[in-house]
A and B are shown apart, each in its own frame.
Chain A
Amino acid sequence: MLPIGHYLFLSMALFLLGVIGVITRRNVIVVLMSIELILNAVNINLVAFSRLYGDVAGQVFALFIIADAAAEAAVGLGIIIAFFRNRETVLADEMDLLKW
């Protein structure tokens, strides 16, 4: 069990990369992927601390986060498909109409 600092650094790095991905990328699908990356960074922290304190609650919560990520990805991709079918584009900039 390495000192907890390693895991903190790792999850921070992944979190930062996720944030960069969300902000800079024009393609909505890659934005969704970066959100998955951020959720993953959170999971690492949770499991690391659950291992540190020997209490399995952290891992159970990580389980819930994964379930939630699945639900979020499903609905997000549903929206993208519906949007793509109408506007033939997937780029974030062109999604400027509230009602098409």
Chain B
Amino acid sequence: MGPQHPSTHGVLRVVLKLDGERVIGSECVIGYLHRGVEKIAENRTYQQFAPYVDRMDYVAAVSNGLGYCEAIEKLLIVEAPPRARVIRTILTELQRIASHLLWLGTHALDIGALTPLFYCFREREEILKILEKYCGARLTTHAFRIGGLQYEAHDTFEKDVERFCKDFESRIVEYETLLTNNRIWIGRTKGVGILTAEDAIAFGVTGPVLRASGVKWDIRKAMPYAAYDQYKFEIPVGTTGDTYDRYLVRMEEMRQSRLICLQAIENIPPGPIMAKVGKVLKPPPGEVYHAIEAPKGELGYYVVSDGTVQPYRVRIRPPSFINLQAFDRMVRGHLVADVVAIIGTIDIVLGEVDR
């Protein structure tokens, strides 16, 4: 299946070894979107590199930015003010919902249901409007700065987010009626692309794919960052680890993110939005690894600084790339038609896979 295939998200080439209709083995050829982000980082200052981070997982740019900024703040041993942390949490959770909506739309389209795509995009539009109002850009937002936020929350911020969360509840029910107990949807997804818990851990898979296989691991709970420790929310966990479980886990995650946003909206603490960080950042030599829970899985930043203005090395742990390794195990023994469903269910974004 060539790189410009209609159902591979972006430019992913999959070489399938077939026995008639069944897939025996598969091999993903990637690298079509490789831009050498990590090499570029080595001759950019810390602030200059921040916009590059958004271009990786262009579907969830805000959470990339959050990961990078918090990693550098850890390096500088600086703490973002509480107000900044809460606004960051709200924006990341909104971005998570938007990313899951895009996943649901394209996944359903691959399996044949035409309508959910337009419902999901209608909601995603609302979120992008809020992001645009806040930081001027819809997709590659560059919303955060090292040490806090650049812009104060616009005046109607609370009202917009609240209005969105209010009617999103009924919208999720809309998707569920369309898909969840639809016999054909279940037929196409149940028992397809099974990934057992041991395999998931062995492959180092993270995020909804890991939780669907029954492993209860979410960085927001395990190593809370930003303002996640102040809010109550559950972590949905699946049982068999097939496409249908991943679908349920992600739908539940959307609901939880909505709850987080609602809790966060009640009390956004007043105060400054930017910590005292100089114009020129010269972090002390040393290294740091900071991971956050991106919509696709654990997004980690390993930054080594040699005391100068530019980082010595920035290593990014992309969740999509690692989840993709489990693709071969999942696709074995299935029919060619299921390959499309499996690519959809891992929810990979090629920008992040190729970096």
Task: Please determine if A and B sit in direct contact within the complex, based on CB atoms under 8 angstroms apart.
Answer: no
